[in-house]
Structure 1
């Protein structure tokens, strides 16, 4: 019912628009024609042929200029619409100089407003990096970064051999104990990182910036230390048996 009523309203609005436009054009043409028609009529009665020529020439010139302006506007509008969307990123040369200067001034003003809204001192809250952080992940919680970092350790180990993937039921301490049997890595550093990781993830307390930096240093060193033993040119029998057990 509402859609039918809306359709009738749209039709009625279009009808009123067309009628008003027609009446406006009709009265405009009438007012424009009355004056020259009266002047030509008087010139004919007075036999002033030269005045008739002047009036006709002036109105013809005005009509011709109006037609040229209309066609030029119509052409420019169609060209502009056909160029949307552009096949390239618009640059400064695509805008008038005054328009480009206005855009640049507004961008500078917005940048100044944004900078003025930033904290004046180095505010640091546990769990989140400060606004002007040295890290490449602003406004990303520390805990999310640590979770992804732990996954990178597993990816590094499994890249050495598919059997080194961690089971879903395995804790990180159990996984570290399993890796010690086949992979070289800094065990002391690994235990420290896992203890700090489990405390940060399950304690419910946000991580401070200092502790997060310390964990990132441990993570970097630990990731570099993971490697297969030099004396093993290929997987040992125990390693292969374990790998088969993981694939079941």
Structure 2
């Protein structure tokens, strides 16, 4: 166990944990961290459970991995790292910390956006369009290469919007020029579509920043990881 790091995170590592405790830990966590360099069936099971709950998951993978990722994680933003020197692991620590902070900020922002107006349009955007725009912007801090449609759908579903609301929101935001699409390919050759906010979308968010959460109180988070 390691507690009280400089970033105020709490990490708990357990060698052998009953499956019920693992599932309970996942359900009660704010997010999960999974190391997927090797094809460990226990890790894939726990990751699948976390995705089904659903929970935010930070994925890390060494560049030593040679095989392709399973389909369910190909489109997700994965932190890759080298293992050649101690500095590589310090960089990995920084990347993980920044990713966790971004994920937690995103959750707070989505919550704020979903309660702004359940019915009426907000400065030209309907509620589902506003939430979609905020989700794409917030996820851009997690993955600078763009946000996959799968991730947008997952976040909007978690916020209470249906799949059709997600599809309509993306189509309208594209028509309004607030977002744009491009293709992304990982180091295994898998390709998918990602979304980014355009300058038009940036301008809208700047004009309407009073609708967004711009500050939150720092707090300590507990993150459970399992090494199997």
Structure whose residues are more often strand by fraction: 2
Alignment TM-score, normalising by the size of structure 2 = 0.22
Structure whose residues are more often helix by fraction: 1
Which has the higher Rg, Structure 1 or Structure 2?
1
Higher RCO, 1 vs 2 (CA within 8 Å, ≥6 residues apart): 2
